[in-house]
Amino acid sequence: MIKPHGSDQLNPLFVYDTDEHAKLTHEAQSLPSIVVSSATAANAVMMGSGYFNPLTGYMTKADALSVANTMTTSSGLFWPTPVMNLVADAGSIKVGDRIALKDPNVEGNPVVAIQNVESVETFTDEEMATITQKVYGTQDPEHPGVAAFNSQGKTCLSGPIQVLNFSYFQTDFPDTFRTAVEIRNEIAERGWKKVVAFQTRNPMHLAHEELCHMAMDRLGCDGLVIHMLLGKLKKGDIPADVRDAAIRKMVELYFPPNSAMVTGYGFDMLYAGPREAVLHAVFRQNMGATHFIIGRDHAGVGDYYGAFEAQEIFDGIPAGTLEIEIFRADHTAWSKKLNKVVMMNEAPDHAKEDFVLLSGTKVREMLGNGIAPPKEFSRPEVAEILIKYYQSLNG
C-alpha cells in the first residue's frame, strides 16, 4: 500500500490505549483549559485521525510563516497550509504548560485534546496578512475562509497534542466518519491496490458520478473512495446528512458491489482553492489512496481562483514530494450529441448549447419546487432525496 506522507507508518495522535485515555481524561479536569476555535478543533480531529501525518501538534509561528511562503516547515517537511492553535488571548498560559483544549462545537465543551505548550507567540498584522494572502490568494474579508481564519486571534500556541475524541463527527455521522487508519484497513480488507479518491462537499449529480467511473476506468483502479467533508461549511451548502443519503443511494444503484466506499472526514472547509487542493492530496495519500481526482475550481469559492489553478499548483511541487498521483479532470456534462457524459475539453466540436448545463441556483430552484432536474443532469433517486430536503426548508 502507498506510504503515508512523511513517514513509513501512519502515526495518528488519537490515544487508543484505554488506560492511558482514562488517565488523560482525568488529568484534563485539573488542567488550565481554553475553548478553541472550530478550525483548531478540526485540526485536532485531523491529526487524531492520521490524516495530517506526520504532524505531531500545532505549528510554531516560524513554521506557519514558512509553510505560507514556501509550503515547507522550518525543518523541510512539505506541508501546504498552516495548522495552528490560534487564540485571541492566551491569558496566563505560558511555555511548559499542559492545557486542555475544549471543543466549541459540542454542548458542554468536552476536551478534544491535551496540548504541551512549547511556545506562545503573537503574529503582527503584517504577518497575518502575509499568511492570508499566500494561503487564500486574497485578503478579501468576504471570502469565507479568510473570514474564519482572521476571526480566531493572532496568538499562536504551538506544541504536540494527544487527541481524546473526534468531536461531533463520530457521534453525528457514525456510518460515514472514518479515520485515515480505518480507511487504510478497509482498503486492505477489500484487497484494493489502486484506489482513487473523490472529494465532495455537495451531493453528486450524474456528471460527478460519471467522472468517478471515468477515473476508475482510465487509471485501472480496483476501488473508489468517495470522501465527503463533514465539518463546517458556508451558508447555503447542503447539510452532511442529506448529502450522505443522496451519495449512498447513488452508489447502491449505480456502482458495482465492492467498487466504492462512502466515507467522510472531520474538517472545516477552508475554501482555499489551490492550497487546499494540495492539502486534500496529502491527506488522501495518508488514508491510502493512490490517486486523487481534482477538477475545475477544486475547493474554491466565488471567483477567487482560476478554473485550473488547483491542478496547476501541482506542477510546482518537486517530483517525489508526494506519492499520490493527481487525475486532472475538466468540467463534465451530458453531451446531447453523444448521448453521454463527457469531459467538456474532450468534445472540441461541441458548442455550449450541445451540453446539458444547469446553474446551482437553477437546480436549487427546481428542487425547491418539487421538480427533478433532467435525467441527463441528476439521477431521479438522488433528486428525490434532495427535493424532500429543499421542500422541508420551504415549510
Which residues are catalytically annotated?
201-202
Do 51 and 199 form a contact (C-beta atoms < 8 A)? no
Those residues with Cβ within 8 angstroms of residue 25's Cβ, 6 or more apart along the chain or in another chain: 111, 164
Residues 6+ apart with CB under 8 A from 32: 92, 93, 97, 99, 100
Tell me the C-alpha distance between 169 and 267, whole Å: 9
Strand 340-343 and strand 355-356: the pairing is unpaired
By the 10 Å C-beta count (0-12 exposed, 13-18 middle, 19+ buried), 279 is classed as buried
Q: Facing residues of 325 across strands? A: 291
> Can you tell me the distance from the alpha carbon of 345 to that of 335, in angstroms, rounded to the nearest whole number?
12
- As a whole number of angstroms, the distance between CA 138 and CA 143 comes to 8
3-state secondary structure of 174: coil
In this structure, what DSSP letter does residue 14 have?
B
Nearest to 149 by CA among 270, 34, 66, 322: 270
Q: What are the two backbone dihedrals, phi and then psi, of residue 316, each rounded to the nearest 5 degrees? A: -95, 0
Residue 44 contacts residue 15 (beta carbons within 8 Å):
no
String of b and e for 147-179 (b: at least 16 CB within 10 Å)? ebbbebbbbbbbbbbbbbbbbbbbeebeebbbb
Residues 290 and 194: beta-carbon distance below 8 Å: yes
